[in-house]
Structure 1
Amino acid sequence: MTVNRRQFMQSAAAALLVPCMARAGFLSLEARVADQLIAPDGYPETKLWSYGGKVPGIPLRLKQGDRVQRRLVNNLPQPTSVHWHGIRIANAMDGVSGLTQAPVVPGDTFDYDFEVPDAGTYWYHAHNRSMEQVARGLYGPLIVEEATPPDVDQDLILMLDDWRLDPETAQITDDFDNGRDLSHAGRLGNLVTVNGSFDPAFPVKRNERLRLRLINASNARIFDVGLDGLSGWIVALDGMPLEAPLAIPQSFPLAPAQRADLVVDVSTDDDAANLLSVEQDGAYGLVQFNVTGELAKTRRDGVDALPPNPLPVLRDVETAPLHRMVLQGGAMRWLENARIGDTEMSGRELAQLGRFWALNGNAERPTDPFLDTGLGSLHRIEFVNETAFPHAMHLHGHHFRLILEDGSFGPWRDTVLVDRGQTRQIALLTDNPGDWLLHCHMLGHAASGMMSWIRVT
């Protein structure tokens, strides 16, 4: 199959093999402005916000159980903080401005110091004014390697993102408070990149085995990922190994903040294979792999499951308390009223404040937690999406298990995609003390109302 490449306002991306960067002691993680070519050749560089002068930011690759010691140095024009997404972390290190720490003002620093208990694919990103700061490029990969990694020839990190650029200047458009974006699907870009690069070619060999670590770093775009000339298995989701590898379907969704680890073989007889974005009008290339020779005459056998992480065992879930979280508002299902703090406000008043969404009638993070519970408690949370748009609900500090329609367990996740009109249920063991954010990871939705939290004491 020949994969057509869209032009500047419709195309996509690159791949990068990330080197080891883990060292002892506090190393600088500088947040600063940088110029980088993310548009096609012939366009100027784009002014981005970065960790370490490049987007994605400094790649962190560690062994399971290692310690991260990074000093955030804020050389940006705004206060910021760093959230270590998917890591079951000490609460004081979670990086949520206004909940777990004060924002780090320009010119100041903050020391992050924590251990990584779970192997897998994670990432870090800004968590102050996230909708703007992540859209400007403040994110990077965090990879925790298994003690016994799978037998692969290359281990590639692929961070998917989309950017909203001025087509004349290739600069990021400064319309982050756009009410239409906030009340609809969110900030969708007009240029797709992978690892901050546009339309690359990456050399591989026929029958080579690759580990592809997919990370969706976009503000709001749900990628429907497919393969061309590659075949294999999904072995982990949101960093957590599947109990049994899953044969990759024709395509699968990857919502904002979600990750998927694939083990694939280069099976094409052509001179290129591709990672695809499957859209309504066809499949388009995200990453191209140019085939240069042959590694072996035949493909390898199947793949073993990755070693499990030290996650809790969930028992008697059907008797656990059920907590209902209703997702409300947005275009076509406008809020009639909702609360900000203790004040009940009309939909018109809320819209004037840039609030278009609510969780259980609250149009910003409420004073009281959605769930206030003791350490080691088992709970079920039911997300009921009454809106006309999908939402990626993310819980900090924990992983949870999906509960399928037949009552059985689905995979461990830290971010669950709840489609329009859909109800999804999760099982959660509160095994990490602290105040933990629970929000939609369509970052414009979070900024305009979809923000809550839980307390584990």
Structure 2
Amino acid sequence: MDLDRRSFLKVALAGCATATIPKLSLAKSSDGFMELRAVKGEARLYGDKGGPSPLWLYNDRLPGPEIRVKQGERVRVRFINELDEPTSVHWHGIRIDNAMDGVAGITQPAVQPGERYDYDFVVPDAGTYWYHAHNMSWNQVPRGLSGPLIVEDRDDVFSPDTDINLVLSDWRLDENGVLDTASFGARHDFSHAGRLGNWLTVNGTSLPDITLQKDRWHRLRLINVSASRILDLAPERLGAKVIALDGQTLSEPRDVPGIVQLAPAQRMDLALRPTEAGTFPLEMMTGQPFAFANLQVTDAGGQDGPLRLPPVNSLPEPDLGDALELPLEMQGGAMGGMRALMRDRTEDEVRKMIQDGQFWTFNGVAGMHGEPMFNARRGETIVLESRNDTGFAHAMHIHGHHFRVLEQGGEPLEHQDWRDTFTTQPQETVKIAFVADNPGKWLIHCHMLGHAASGMMTWFEVV
């Protein structure tokens, strides 16, 4: 079976469904903790035409249940591991207390099968975030272990019925429309663009119907939880405005022409007010445009006034005049990238790296080591200038902090937005700046998860 665009539309149109994520479905125990369980389960990813896929799920849901809290609220989650291998939970994008960051082997021990771990932290910033497994992530996340984490503003301007999550997942299915589990950990994926799928779901459903109301403002929270796939979107085709990136509300709504890329782990919030009832496609722009969801606009009555945005989060501004400036050189990978590693290594050393499954380096170092990439004083401004000296794109994520993207391709950006994950194309330089104000040990890694597992992961410490 060829899972191309034509077969996607044929199967998905035959089985359109409304994609919903359970809200507030985490059962609270008597001591105030919400229970989150990692379990084995299954779901039909290829609509009714495909067989059930073996998945790993949170609370037997795809995606995991929505955790929705208010800004400044305390989050208490009791995580229970019912899988056959160790795991942990990372709260992506939250400026969290380091002990709660969920990185197995760095901030906590991995949660063993049958064991539990209590996460207890305060969410300082409103916005769109998510949670996912952070032990052997290349294997656990693309099996289904992820879910949305929404932090509401204290005075949210969007009503609950117009605030909609769209969790976008890229899957690799076999000829029977079932998740291809035999290819997890493939060396080809690790050394190339990562684990790319051939099927897309929204909130666990193929080509779902998303219900909107005519003449009302809606907030569409797009979350890319794919293992490696960069998604090409075109908000202007819907008349939508970008209002937030990676959880951080913009100072004003932004009309963005052309294609907007949403890399793995990135989020983008859109504001949309349909002006007529009917069915409108939400399209992917990779190659020829194709619909991955249908917006069903109903004539529900009522009309909203001008668009209002939530308040902007208060983040510490970098002091570029007194900053620690550091390089982040990316090397390795296929398509000739491994040759660059031979500048400082012998042929035998490079061959040994490949045998060990280490295909990528940061600043000449492959994978995690005992020494940090750098130490920062608390409150110190850090400027990282990355150069992608490889043949592939990468999505670089920094834990525990948000940063401003200052330059791309050597040119200052018009909008130096706050992000927690930035995209870099082959041979491109990107300069970012942040205040290292969160004490502890923090990861820097590529969110093409196979790349992280095969060398593109390091750490720094704020002391």
Q: Which residue of 2 aligns with 1:415?
A: 421
- The one-letter code sitting in structure 2 at the alignment partner of 1:38 is L
| Contact residue 93 and residue 247 of structure 2 kept, 8 A | yes
| Contact residue 338 and residue 362 of structure 1 kept, 8 A | no
In the alignment, the residues of structure 1 paired with residue 102 and residue 129 of structure 2 have an alpha-carbon distance, to the nearest angstrom, of 15
| Contact residue 138 and residue 185 of structure 2 kept, 8 A | no
Q: Which residue of 2 aligns with 1:237?
A: 245
SS of residue matched to 1:192: strand
| Contact residue 334 and residue 347 of structure 1 kept, 8 A | no
Structure number with higher helix proportion:
2
CA shift for structure 1 position 6: 3.9
CA shift for structure 1 position 16: 2.5
In the alignment, the residues of structure 1 paired with residue 311 and residue 360 of structure 2 have an alpha-carbon distance, to the nearest angstrom, of 40
Q: Which residue of 1 aligns with 2:80?
A: 73
In the alignment, the residues of structure 1 paired with residue 347 and residue 109 of structure 2 have an alpha-carbon distance, to the nearest angstrom, of 28
Q: Report Cα offsets for 1:44-103 as digits up to 9, x if no partner.
A: 221110010011112100001111111111111110000000000111110111111111
Change (3 A) 1:59 1:16: same
- The one-letter code sitting in structure 1 at the alignment partner of 2:311 is P
- The one-letter code sitting in structure 1 at the alignment partner of 2:373 is F
CA shift for structure 1 position 198: 1.0
- The one-letter code sitting in structure 1 at the alignment partner of 2:85 is Q
Q: Which residue of 1 aligns with 2:448?
A: 442
SS of residue matched to 2:297: strand
| Contact residue 336 and residue 346 of structure 1 kept, 8 A | no
CA shift for structure 1 position 259: 0.4
In structure 2, the gaps of 5 or more residues are: none
Is 2:137 aligned against 1:134?
A: no
- The one-letter code sitting in structure 2 at the alignment partner of 1:444 is G
Q: Which residue of 1 aligns with 2:356?
A: 353
| Contact residue 392 and residue 417 of structure 1 kept, 8 A | yes
- Which residue of the other structure, out of 298, 306, 312, is the alignment partner of 2:310? 306
SS of residue matched to 1:368: coil
Change (3 A) 1:278 1:59: same
User: How much identity, in percent, do the aligned residues show?
Assistant: 44
- Which residue of the other structure, out of 283, 287, 290, is the alignment partner of 2:289? 283
Q: Note the 1:94-109 alignment, pairs <5 A.
A: 94-109=101-116
In the alignment, the residues of structure 1 paired with residue 257 and residue 304 of structure 2 have an alpha-carbon distance, to the nearest angstrom, of 19
Q: Report Cα offsets for 1:314-367 as digits up to 9, x if no partner.
A: 33x14422100101011113324869xx99962221111111111111111122
Q: Which residue of 1 aligns with 2:63?
A: 56
Q: Which residue of 2 aligns with 1:196?
A: 204
- The one-letter code sitting in structure 2 at the alignment partner of 1:314 is P
| Contact residue 19 and residue 203 of structure 2 kept, 8 A | yes
SS of residue matched to 2:416: strand
Change (3 A) 1:375 1:217: same
| Contact residue 21 and residue 66 of structure 2 kept, 8 A | no
In the alignment, the residues of structure 1 paired with residue 269 and residue 145 of structure 2 have an alpha-carbon distance, to the nearest angstrom, of 22
Greater shift in the superposed pair: 76-85 or 33-42? 33-42
| Contact residue 136 and residue 172 of structure 1 kept, 8 A | no
Q: Which residue of 1 aligns with 2:439?
A: 433
Change (3 A) 1:408 1:278: closer
In the alignment, the residues of structure 1 paired with residue 102 and residue 9 of structure 2 have an alpha-carbon distance, to the nearest angstrom, of 34
| Contact residue 228 and residue 276 of structure 1 kept, 8 A | no
Is 2:261 aligned against 1:253?
A: yes
In the alignment, the residues of structure 2 paired with residue 449 and residue 345 of structure 1 have an alpha-carbon distance, to the nearest angstrom, of 18
SS of residue matched to 1:328: strand
Change (3 A) 1:229 1:455: closer
CA shift for structure 1 position 433: 0.2
Q: Note the 1:198-213 alignment, pairs <5 A.
A: 198-213=206-221
Q: Which residue of 2 aligns with 1:333?
A: 336
Q: Which residue of 1 aligns with 2:24?
A: 20
CA shift for structure 1 position 308: 1.5
- Which residue of the other structure, out of 84, 100, 117, is the alignment partner of 2:124? 117
In the alignment, the residues of structure 1 paired with residue 6 and residue 398 of structure 2 have an alpha-carbon distance, to the nearest angstrom, of 35
Please identify runs of 4+ aligned residues in structure 1 that moved more than 6 A.
Answer: 9-14, 342-345
| Contact residue 68 and residue 114 of structure 1 kept, 8 A | yes
SS of residue matched to 1:354: coil
| Contact residue 403 and residue 432 of structure 2 kept, 8 A | yes
Q: Which residue of 2 aligns with 1:292?
A: 298
| Contact residue 236 and residue 256 of structure 2 kept, 8 A | no
In the alignment, the residues of structure 2 paired with residue 125 and residue 10 of structure 1 have an alpha-carbon distance, to the nearest angstrom, of 31
- Which residue of the other structure, out of 160, 184, 187, is the alignment partner of 2:195? 187
Change (3 A) 1:5 1:450: closer
CA shift for structure 1 position 170: 1.2
Aligned length: 447
TM-score (norm 2): 0.90
- The one-letter code sitting in structure 1 at the alignment partner of 2:396 is M
Q: Report Cα offsets for 1:403-438 as digits up to 9, x if no partner.
A: 132377611100011111110001110010000000
Q: Which residue of 1 aligns with 2:270?
A: 262
CA shift for structure 1 position 21: 4.6
- The one-letter code sitting in structure 2 at the alignment partner of 1:419 is Q
CA shift for structure 1 position 27: 2.1
Change (3 A) 1:209 1:388: same
- The one-letter code sitting in structure 1 at the alignment partner of 2:198 is N
- The one-letter code sitting in structure 1 at the alignment partner of 2:175 is P
Is 2:35 aligned against 1:31?
A: no
In the alignment, the residues of structure 2 paired with residue 229 and residue 352 of structure 1 have an alpha-carbon distance, to the nearest angstrom, of 47
Q: Which residue of 1 aligns with 2:90?
A: 83
In the alignment, the residues of structure 1 paired with residue 383 and residue 362 of structure 2 have an alpha-carbon distance, to the nearest angstrom, of 17
Structure number with higher strand proportion:
1
In the alignment, the residues of structure 2 paired with residue 99 and residue 259 of structure 1 have an alpha-carbon distance, to the nearest angstrom, of 25
In structure 1, the gaps of 5 or more residues are: none
Q: Report Cα offsets for 1:120-157 as digits up to 9, x if no partner.
A: 00000000000010010000100000012124551110
CA shift for structure 1 position 9: 9.4
In the alignment, the residues of structure 2 paired with residue 408 and residue 321 of structure 1 have an alpha-carbon distance, to the nearest angstrom, of 23
Q: Which residue of 2 aligns with 1:149?
A: 156
Q: CA RMSD in A?
A: 2.5
- The one-letter code sitting in structure 2 at the alignment partner of 1:445 is H
TM-score (norm 1): 0.92
| Contact residue 382 and residue 433 of structure 2 kept, 8 A | yes
Greater shift in the superposed pair: 22-31 or 112-121? 22-31
| Contact residue 10 and residue 192 of structure 1 kept, 8 A | no
